[in-house]
A and B are shown apart, each in its own frame.
Chain A
């Protein structure tokens, strides 16, 4: 099977205004989403993963701007599109699910209305046809008694059900790419697994690609084919999921995996990464992880490392890998 790129992000840099000048929240981010794959972006809060996804769809608020870089969706550069052109792409070509289903639904409209609206905006369907499609969608996302739920208001549904509705809205127009921003974080553990299952089966069924943004390595292990690890606005490691979990390369990734309680079973103390995640105004000139890194060297203090290719499918932003591959 020949892979083709659905989304290619090149050198994406997003800045936010602040009192002390612009802050670079996303810095030179590159990644590719291949057709049919699930790419994960992992990182802790403030690493820029959500801003990256909002930048792709140009959903940044008034303080944020894309200052450089390109986002190619099937050879169209989205960065150059204006708001009107983006509206046609959002929902239809690329759609998004957010973390909090409670606030993303309009409390005064019925479920059926809200899903129907999206369909009417993008497709030329009328009245009864729309309703049929909505009910079919509700069934597709595993909502029982879809006919009744059609007439219900959001507050009557549980969190998991609401997230299913959000997914129904997102897939209503058969998008090519689905961006899921922490889709399960606000949900209970048992519901999380169900929603992940649903997303996986929908992806296959509807032939979508997926960009999954999460802080949870457990979700990554369940869902993703390849992973981009972000730290302090930069990509620090890109690799396939198996390699990431078994042989992480970047000291940050190593620390992250070791500090989850499941990994250090039997040990009295957890391994942990010292210190705190830096905020954009505290980024050092050298490597941004240097203050917390157990393997920091002299060069790390002064010069920022480039992204090295460790092997054909792994790259890592760390001086430790300087001699193991070529700079890309």
Chain B
């Protein structure tokens, strides 16, 4: 899926539905949407696997089997072993923990700072908006992975720094989307009504803006998780993220690359894992977008 798709703006929708009904209605519509259900189910299973990794994984991910180096998938090692004799399946299962934690934390950074900057820009306007948005524009001119690279280069390679880098690198895109959504709300009559009443700024932001952007936030956050997983894996792949022997999918992919000729399984399975999870997240994001998009609902 093209990453640029994410930047397709969603119109802030001022629904005529009550939050209670909206919530019930919303859940009903999610569960009516087969794609969404399948994706949620898949991601749920993946998360369970990650959480219960010590129970599910057949071996310790860092345990070395000296007598079975570069073994093809077989009965004992279902997905084979790597160059120093570690069980690939166990490493993949433990990798879920690393990948999901890192990408979720990265998105949390994007979410809080991006929402904050977006709302402030839209609400305050004027030179604050101008300055912040021009900075965001400059950062947006670079692909987010390059920006992440630059940040890691400054902070030094480590998983924590990769997480921060990925999170920060997505802020410009996220902030811009939230700003756009918030601008439509700002120009709405009910915000003007609030001003005419003399309500405080924080009240207007809390009671008038937030309830109307929650749907949009949910969609974008989901879509950005996909980006975060990919970016984290990419940073690890080039050696700037997780350091060996941490079982991280990107690192594993990179390690397996050297053995493509004689041990195909080493690069293939982490690759499939990354693809499937990112695919599921993006698919879910798309389903959510359809559910929230005014044009798709009758």
Give the interface of A toward B (CB within 8 A): 61-63
Contacts and interface: CB of A to CB of B under 8 A. Distances in A.
B126 interface: no
Nearest to B25: A19
Nearest to B298: A63
Contacts of A62: 298
- Secondary structure at chain A's binding surface: helix, strand, loop or mixed? loop
3 contacts: A61-B298, A62-B298, A63-B298
Contacts of A63: 298
Contacts of B298: 61-63
A63 B298 CA distance: 8
A61 B298 CA distance: 9
Interface residues of B, number: 1
Nearest to A62: B298
Contacts, number: 3
Interface string B267-298: 00000000000000000000000000000001
Nearest to A19: B25
Contacts of A61: 298
A25 to B, nearest CB: 15
B297 to A, nearest CB: 11
A61 B295 CA distance: 13
Sorted from nearest, which 3 A-B pairs have the closest CB atoms? A63-B298, A62-B298, A61-B298
A182 to B, nearest CB: 22
A62 B298 CA distance: 9
Nearest to A16: B298
B21 to A, nearest CB: 11
Nearest to A17: B298
A264 B194 CA distance: 36
Interface string B14-55: 000000000000000000000000000000000000000000
B25 to A, nearest CB: 10
A62 B296 CA distance: 12
A103 to B, nearest CB: 14
A54 to B, nearest CB: 15
A149 to B, nearest CB: 31
A77 B297 CA distance: 32
B248 to A, nearest CB: 48
A61 B297 CA distance: 12
B11 to A, nearest CB: 15
A153 B298 CA distance: 31
A266 B298 CA distance: 47
A196 B298 CA distance: 34
A59 to B, nearest CB: 16
A123 to B, nearest CB: 34
A26 B298 CA distance: 19
A260 to B, nearest CB: 26
Interface string B134-167: 0000000000000000000000000000000000
Nearest to A61: B298
A218 B298 CA distance: 34
B26 to A, nearest CB: 15
A15 to B, nearest CB: 15
A62 B297 CA distance: 12
B7 to A, nearest CB: 21
B198 to A, nearest CB: 31
A324 B70 CA distance: 100
A28 B269 CA distance: 65
A64 B145 CA distance: 48
B201 to A, nearest CB: 33
B71 to A, nearest CB: 57
A55 to B, nearest CB: 18
A164 B298 CA distance: 31
Nearest to A63: B298
A51 to B, nearest CB: 15
A179 B298 CA distance: 25
B237 to A, nearest CB: 43
A261 B64 CA distance: 91
B166 to A, nearest CB: 38
A191 B230 CA distance: 58
A71 B298 CA distance: 27
B17 to A, nearest CB: 12
A60 to B, nearest CB: 12
A299 B256 CA distance: 86
A79 B178 CA distance: 47
A300 B229 CA distance: 67
